[in-house]
Amino acid sequence: MLSVRVIRRSPKLIHNLYIVFVPGFTTHLFSSMSNSPKPKVYVTRRVPQDGLEILRPHCDITQWDSEKPVPRAELIRQVAGKDALFCLLTDKIDAEVLDSAGPQLKCIGTMSVGYDHIDMAECRARNIPVGFTPDVLTNATAELTVGLLLATSRRLIEASKSVRDGGWGTWDPLWMLGHGLEGSTVGIVGLGRIGIAVARRLAPFGVSKFLYSGHNRKEEASEVSAEFTDFDTLLEKSDFVLGCCALTKENQELFNKNAFEKMKSNAIFINTSRGGLVNQDDLFDALKSRQIAAAGLDVTSPEPLPTDSPLLSLENCVVLPHIGSATERARGAMSALTGRNILAYLRGESMPCQIK
């Protein structure tokens, strides 16, 4: 008798089939999954259906069905006994959560590019791979970065408010003057996927020069003729300073009093990466004293930013509620990639996007 294993793939279901050849008998097909229990996946929030549709035919899904983050106690209770965890950047995944999940937890998929909410050292020690979602939100975040830069530099929020408040009088050649991009120098701290996408979008505005800083030079910088320089030089020479780097222990509060003191007085600071990159007290002081001209933030620390935050009292500071990836296409793609990461590992395959 000869037994041959065949992998049959279809859009909805994948089975391991065994074709058994027995002399004198009809060929029989046996599915190795027919009697196997489905792996259990816990989803920590209401998410776009794209990822759930990928997982649902093959997994038993338990979900915190709310637009609000799952409470810590509920997360710890529900993760117990699960094979995989589908989480978001608002979920702190640490040793306590991993202990509660138990030794059968095989993998984690986070619907985010950043992963500072996950204790990666603990995951590596337990051999739990973590998938994430780079690339799919690059364009959406780059668009938002440009939009926030324009809103801040051209004082769009302040101008719109003046219309509602009755501050719009006769045309005044000196009223609501902002800073244009034409002929400017734009400094990008972290010329990764999002940084280069932002530069591509800003180039047609007539930017004179792009500077970037980071650990090393980037080949793709040549696309926008960006010059590699050190962080201090970037601060000193840039009219616009964009925070586009990942948050690490080394760059925690990278943008602080010392950094703002080195920037031009007409400089505008934009951060669409992580709130932890900025010392917000120092930023408030720099904006209040007009040490720098303005700032635009899509990320803060904490999130949500308390309504009594001093930053919200400033006309030269625009704060958005972390909507960099908030397009239907981007969020759907993030959910789908999270689902594919989890399902791939549960099948014994490599994740499409795994944190190394």
Residue 287, classified by CB atoms within 10 Å of its CB into exposed (0-12), middle (13-18) or buried (19+), is buried
Which residues, in sequence order, are CB contacts of 198 under 8 Å at separation 6+?
142, 145, 146, 188, 242, 244
Strand order in the sheet with 2-9: 2-9, 14-21, 28-31
Which residues, in sequence order, are CB contacts of 73 under 8 Å at separation 6+?
none
Residues 181, 183, 185, 188, CA torsion sign: positive
Kindly provide the residue ranges of all beta strands, DSSP E only, lying in 58-129, ordered along the sequence.
Answer: 60-63, 84-87, 107-110
Catalytic (active site) residue 322: yes
Question: Residue 240 pairs with which residues in a beta bridge?
Answer: 186, 268
> One of 15, 58, 179, 322 is an active-site residue; which one?
322
Question: Residue 2 pairs with which residues in a beta bridge?
Answer: 21
Please state whether beta strands 317-319 and 14-21 pair in parallel, antiparallel, or not at all (unpaired).
unpaired
268: three-class secondary structure by DSSP: strand
Reading the block at residue 353, the tokens are: 């996007």
Between the alpha carbon of residue 163 and those of residues 142, 150, 175, 314, the distances in Å are 29, 18, 13, 18
How far apart (Å, rounded) are the C-alpha atoms in residues 2 and 22? 7
Strand order in the sheet with 60-63: 60-63, 40-43, 84-87, 107-110, 130-131
Catalytic residue positions, numbered: 322
